[in-house]
């Protein structure tokens, strides 16, 4: 019996086919119903938060050129011309990649006259890259 209005909504949205499939796998219909209810509740919470922000961040650093920019900026603020030189890429390509990183919240821009300078938005960006490197080592 559902304990709250939220549980009633979840109970109504539970797919009986999903319960039957899980029950066949684990051999217990009551446990399958309970686990399915718990999973539906988790998915509802995930959907409320929405994964779009995380997806945007991971897409931004999935490109090798943008990842190189992030690694360059670990050392400190750089102007676009310095980033272009380091990457050996034209200004339009460099600016495009910087724009994606900025929109994802990974870098910050500072303007000084006609010059644009970029830096990492937060130390968490550097930590994220470090953690990714560590995960790769775990294999």
User: What are the angstrom distances between the C-alpha of 27 and each of 17, 21, 23, 66, 107?
Assistant: 15, 10, 5, 48, 51
Q: Would you state the pLDDT for residue 1?
A: 47
Report the side by side order of strands in the sheet with 107-112: 78-79, 115-120, 107-112
Average pLDDT along the chain, 139 residues, taken 10 residues at a time: 50 74 86 87 74 83 95 95 97 97 95 95 87 81
CATH code for the structural domain at 54-138:
1.10.10.10
- Rounded Cα gap, residues 60 and 129, in angstroms: 12
Q: Would you state the pLDDT for residue 23?
A: 86
Q: Would you state the pLDDT for residue 11?
A: 53
CB 118 within 8 A of CB 77: yes
Structure pTM?
A: 0.68
Q: Would you state the pLDDT for residue 97?
A: 98
Q: Would you state the pLDDT for residue 106?
A: 94
Could you tell me which residues are beta bridge partners of residue 109? Answer: 118
Question: Which residues neighbour 107 within 8 Å (Cβ) at sequence distance 6 or greater?
Answer: 69, 70, 73, 98, 101, 118, 119, 120, 121, 125
Q: Where in the chain is the domain with CATH 1.10.10.10?
A: 54-138
Question: Which residues neighbour 125 within 8 Å (Cβ) at sequence distance 6 or greater?
Answer: 70, 106, 107
């Amino acid at each position: 019996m559902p304990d709250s209005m939220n549980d009633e909504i979840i109970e109504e949205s539970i797919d009986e086919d999903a319960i039957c499939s899980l029950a066949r796998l684990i051999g217990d219909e009551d446990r399958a119903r309970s686990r399915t209810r718990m999973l539906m509740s988790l998915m509802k919470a995930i959907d409320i938060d929405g994964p779009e922000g995380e997806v945007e961040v991971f897409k931004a650093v999935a490109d090798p050129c943008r990842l190189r920019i992030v690694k360059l900026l670990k050392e400190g603020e750089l102007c676009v011309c310095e980033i272009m030189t380091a990457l050996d890429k034209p200004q339009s390509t460099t600016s495009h990649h910087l724009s994606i990183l900025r929109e994802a919240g990974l870098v910050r821009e500072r303007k000084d006259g006609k010059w644009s300078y970029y830096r990492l938005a937060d130390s968490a960006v550097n930590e994220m890259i470090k953690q990714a490197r560590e995960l790769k080592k775990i294999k």
